[in-house]
C-alpha cells in the first residue's frame, strides 16, 4: 500500500474519477459526481506537475471534493427562484374556489363534477344533479366541495 501511494500517477486519479462518474450514472443522486470531478482535476494537476507528492495529492482531492460540492450546493440553493406558474403540474389546484354544476349526484358522500373536458370525483354533502357547488379543497384525485 505504501508503495502504491508513493507512486500515484495521473492515470490512477483519472481512473478513479472515471469509476466514480460511472457509478454516478447508476443512480448515486449527485453524490459521486463531484468526487469524480475532483479526482479528474487532481489527475490533470498530477499530469501538469508530475513531481507532486502523494502527501499533497490526497489533501488536494479532499479539498477539491468539498469545494466543488459546496459551490454546487450554493448555486442550486440560489437558483430556486419562485415559479411564475406555482400550480403547474398540480392538477386540481386551479379549481380551488371555483364553482361548478354537479354532473352526477352526490350520494354516500361521493359524486362527480365536470371541469372543462374532465370529470372529477368529489366528496361532500349529498346533493342532486345540477346543484351548484364550490371546490374548497383537494385530497389527491378527490375534490372536496360545498354547496355554492
Cell of 66: 468539498
Domain with CATH 2.40.50.140 in the chain: 93-147
Q: Does domain 93-147 have CATH number 3.40.50.2000?
A: no
The tens-digit pLDDT sequence of the chain (148 residues) is 667 667 778 888 899 999 999 999 988 777 888 899 999 999 999 999 988 888 899 999 999 999 988 988 888 787 777 777 766 777 788 889 999 999 999 999 999 999 888 899 999 999 999 999 999 999 888 999 999 8
- Kindly tell me the sign of the dihedral angle through the C-alpha atoms of 86, 88, 89, 93: positive
Amino acid at each position: 500500500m505504501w508503495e502504491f501511494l508513493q507512486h500515484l500517477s495521473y492515470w490512477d486519479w483519472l481512473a478513479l474519477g472515471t469509476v466514480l462518474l460511472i457509478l454516478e450514472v447508476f443512480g448515486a443522486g449527485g453524490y459521486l459526481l463531484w468526487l469524480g470531478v475532483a479526482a479528474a482535476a487532481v489527475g490533470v494537476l498530477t499530469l501538469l506537475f508530475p513531481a507532486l507528492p502523494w502527501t499533497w495529492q490526497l489533501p488536494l482531492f479532499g479539498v477539491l471534493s468539498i469545494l466543488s460540492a459546496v459551490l454546487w450546493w450554493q448555486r442550486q440553493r440560489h437558483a430556486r427562484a419562485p415559479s411564475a406558474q406555482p400550480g403547474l403540474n398540480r392538477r386540481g389546484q386551479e379549481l380551488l374556489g371555483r364553482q361548478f354544476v354537479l354532473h352526477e349526484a352526490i350520494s354516500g358522500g361521493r359524486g362527480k363534477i365536470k371541469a372543462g373536458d374532465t370529470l372529477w370525483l368529489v366528496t361532500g354533502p349529498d346533493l342532486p344533479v345540477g346543484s351548484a357547488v364550490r371546490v374548497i379543497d383537494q385530497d389527491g384525485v378527490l375534490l372536496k366541495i360545498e354547496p355554492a
